Amino acid sequence: MLYISTRGNSEPQTSAQAISIGMVPAGGLFVPQEIPNVNWQEFRGLDYSQLALSVLRLFCDDLPDSTLQQAVNVYKDGRFDNPNPAPVINIGGCGLLELWHGPTAAFKDMALQVLPYLLASSTKIVGLDAEVLILTATSGDTGKAALEGFKDAPGTKIVVFYPDGGVSAVQERQMITTGGRNTYVLAVSGNFDECQTAVKKVFSSPDLRQKLLRKKKVFSSANSINWGRLLPQIVYYFWAYLQTVEQGSIEPGSPINIVVPTGNFGNILAAFYAQKMGLPINKLICASNRNNVLFDFFQSGIYNSNRPFYLTTSPSMDILISSNFERFLFEMTSRDAAKINKWFQALGTEGRYEVDSSTLDTCRQNMYAGWASEEGVSQTIAEFYQEHGYVLDPHTAVGVKVYQDYKQQSKDNTYTVLASTASPFKFAQSVLRAIRPEDYAAEDAWKALDRLSELTGWQIPPGLRNLQDKQAQPAQKCRPHEIEKFILEEFC
Ligand SMILES: *Cc1c(COP(=O)(O)O)cnc(C)c1O
């Protein structure tokens, strides 16, 4: 399987090459040259690791099977706190796909536990005798998941940049208590987009690449711009479908809807690829929070990131530049690299682009987009808890709210699976405020965790216990334009 650039500015690369460099050095993202077709029925009876192996093999035929075997073992070697790493919980007539049973309690673990194996093997195959420097911009959850995944991994250093003041107390504490000899955490002034843009700029600086290479170091990425990060996410949509059939919620072969709370557009893109591969999916529903740039795009065909940036209770979705949307548009234009180039150049210089009406039509046929207000999210958490005794985290609640609105308006009764992207404990303060507005414990991040557990009878996930007592290494502060300087000083 070869990978091509969304902007037509790279020779086709093997999966090892695409994964080891993370993104196209000249700008652009790697996508599979062809999307393989599979029959989901062939996956029946497999356990999660076996299913993951089957899917990974389709896309990484140049990586040794032993690597892939090792990689998928993570789902059954005790790192996940549930024998089924991604259970579908059937509630209120739909399925919640819980993706947060990994070590950091958000869905990012599903891929970031696997990526280190793929990356180590890839760099070896391409003959890079160099240390890999992984740069990661995070809106909160990727950072910790990447730190956990790559902590003390040989031949690797991992640097995480998060927006100062833009992540939850628990998220920040998780990141700065990682330890490990090869981890770096920096708090960048500004919002996530400024942070991500600055990191991407560093990535595509030929000068910096040269300097690093002289020190036998190369860049890679743990963000969903890296194909190796997206690929393991395709697996759980097949898994969800298989469980839905198993549970008798649908007839084998009937389509389902999938709802994904969306930020950088990686998770929903994985669902889109699953659909392209032949998984019976009826509607893909893209749910945004108040930072609803994607919703507006689906209304107007204009992607405009020049707008206020809101800090919300779902910080991992506080994003105005959804990187992976580029891959989606590439498919929506029947792979017209010239168009993608034009639009994404414009996004870089003017912060906006407008697509033609036939592209917009195709987008709308492939996806439904909605958004939820902060009030809607909080109300949804409260109502869902009252009705079902089930606690939603604010990100998942965005998805639930958008789905409820969609269902009411469309009268579409297709069985629907909603990606549940984080444990509610990761955002305990916001969740507690929603279900018990008068509770003083919500004022304190750590008390909120205990109180939420007390109230609901749910256990605090292992990775979030006793965070306040763990030894912390406060994050170094920097401004976006200082990222390059930091890298030069620290690594060159
Ligand atoms: C990262 C994240 C999202 C957004 O996922 P994307 O792949 O960036 O669209 C949603 N919810 C949670 C909890 C996350 O950590």
Q: What is the pLDDT of residues 181-229, one digit of tens each?
A: 999 999 999 999 999 899 988 988 899 999 999 999 999 989 999 999 9
pLDDT at residue 476 tops 90: yes
Contact between 257 and 415 under an 8 Å Cβ cutoff? The reply is: yes
Spatial distance between the Cα atoms of 180 and 170, rounded to a whole number of angstroms = 19
Nearest CA to ligand 1 atom 15: 141
Asked if 211 is an active-site residue, the reply is no
Q: Which atom of ligand 1 is nearest to the CA of 426?
A: 13
The average pLDDT across 62-91 equals 97
Token pair of 64 as six digits: 């040794």
pLDDT at residue 140 tops 90: no
Q: Could you tell me what percent of the chain has a pLDDT over 70?
A: 100
pLDDT at residue 31 tops 90: yes
Ligand 1 centroid–CA 142 distance in Å is 8
pLDDT of residue 203: 85
Q: Which atom of ligand 1 is nearest to the CA of 141?
A: 15
| Helix-strand-coil split of the chain, %, nearest 5 | 50, 15, 35
The set of residues, in sequence order, having a beta carbon less than 8 Å from that of 234 and lying 6+ positions away, is 55, 270, 271, 273, 274, 277
pLDDT of residue 378: 98
Q: Give the angle subtended at the CA of 297 by the CAs of 293 and 299, to the nearest 5°.
A: 120
From first CA to last CA, the distance across the chain in angstroms is 35
Nearest CA to ligand 1 atom 1: 316
Pick the more confident residue, 243 or 468: 243
- Residue tagged active-site, from 76, 108, 211, 401: 108
What order do you get walking across the sheet with 183-188 strand by strand?
217-221, 131-137, 156-163, 183-188, 476-478
Q: Give the angle subtended at the CA of 470 by the CAs of 468 and 471, to the nearest 5°.
A: 120
pLDDT at residue 230 tops 90: yes
At residue 188, what is the residue type? V
pLDDT of residue 426: 95
Mean pLDDT of all residues belonging to the chain: 96
What's the chain's Rg over C-alpha atoms? Answer: 21
Spatial distance between the Cα atoms of 361 and 395, rounded to a whole number of angstroms = 28
Among candidate residues 492, 341, 274, the one with its CA nearest the CA of residue 24: 341
pLDDT of residue 237: 98
For 171, 190, 198, the CA distances from 187, given in Å and listed in that order, are: 12, 9, 13
Contact between 60 and 369 under an 8 Å Cβ cutoff? The reply is: no
pLDDT confidence bin for 136, thresholds 50/70/90? very high
The average pLDDT across 215-244 equals 95
The average pLDDT across 121-126 equals 93
Q: Which of 120-124, 152-156, 402-406 has the highest mean pLDDT?
A: 402-406
pLDDT confidence bin for 47, thresholds 50/70/90? very high
Contact between 402 and 147 under an 8 Å Cβ cutoff? The reply is: no
Q: Which atom of ligand 1 is nearest to the CA of 262?
A: 9
Spatial distance between the Cα atoms of 176 and 453, rounded to a whole number of angstroms = 24
pLDDT of residue 139: 87
Ligand 1 centroid–CA 202 distance in Å is 23
pLDDT at residue 179 tops 90: yes
Among candidate residues 97, 457, 423, 342, the one with its CA nearest the CA of residue 242: 97
Q: Which atom of ligand 1 is nearest to the CA of 393?
A: 13
Q: Which atom of ligand 1 is nearest to the CA of 140?
A: 15
**Fold (topology level) of 1-108+225-467:** Rossmann fold (3.40.50)
Ligand 1 centroid–CA 316 distance in Å is 5
Q: Could you tell me what percent of the chain has a pLDDT over 90?
A: 92
Ligand 1 centroid–CA 376 distance in Å is 19
Among candidate residues 481, 397, 229, the one with its CA nearest the CA of residue 405: 397
The set of residues, in sequence order, having a beta carbon less than 8 Å from that of 210 and lying 6+ positions away, is none
pLDDT of residue 204: 83
pLDDT of residue 25: 85
Hey, which of 292, 323, 395 would you mutate to test ligand 1's pocket, going by the most ligand atoms within 8 Å of its Cβ?
395
pLDDT of residue 135: 94
Nearest CA to ligand 1 atom 8: 264
Biggest CA-to-CA distance, the chain: 61
Among candidate residues 130, 131, 231, the one with its CA nearest the CA of residue 182: 131
Residues making up the chain, counted from first to last: 492
pLDDT of residue 313: 96
Spatial distance between the Cα atoms of 341 and 344, rounded to a whole number of angstroms = 5
Which of 118-127, 325-334, 353-362 comes out lowest in average pLDDT?
A: 118-127
Ligand 1 centroid–CA 489 distance in Å is 32
Which H or E element spans position 246? helix 227-246
pLDDT confidence bin for 259, thresholds 50/70/90? very high
pLDDT digits (tens, 9 = 90+) for 88-104: 999 989 999 999 999 99
Helix ranges (DSSP H) in 367-465 = 374-388, 394-410, 428-435, 445-456
The average pLDDT across 19-27 equals 90
pLDDT of residue 200: 86
Ligand 1 centroid–CA 398 distance in Å is 11
For the chain, give every domain's residue range: 1-108+225-467
- Quick count: other Cβ atoms within 10 Å of Cβ 249? 18
pLDDT confidence bin for 51, thresholds 50/70/90? very high
pLDDT of residue 333: 98
pLDDT of residue 418: 98
Hey, which of 293, 316, 392 would you mutate to test ligand 1's pocket, going by the most ligand atoms within 8 Å of its Cβ?
316
Hey, which of 324, 421, 464 would you mutate to test ligand 1's pocket, going by the most ligand atoms within 8 Å of its Cβ?
421
Look at residue 336 and give its three-state secondary structure.
coil
The alpha carbon torsion through 400, 401, 404, 409 (nearest 10 deg) reads -140
pLDDT digits (tens, 9 = 90+) for 427-452: 999 999 999 999 999 999 999 999 99
Ligand 1 centroid–CA 418 distance in Å is 13
pLDDT of residue 62: 96
Q: Which atom of ligand 1 is nearest to the CA of 265?
A: 9
pLDDT of residue 302: 98
Q: Which protein residues are within 6 Å of ligand 1, measured from CB?
A: 106, 108, 141, 224, 261-267, 316-317, 395, 421-422
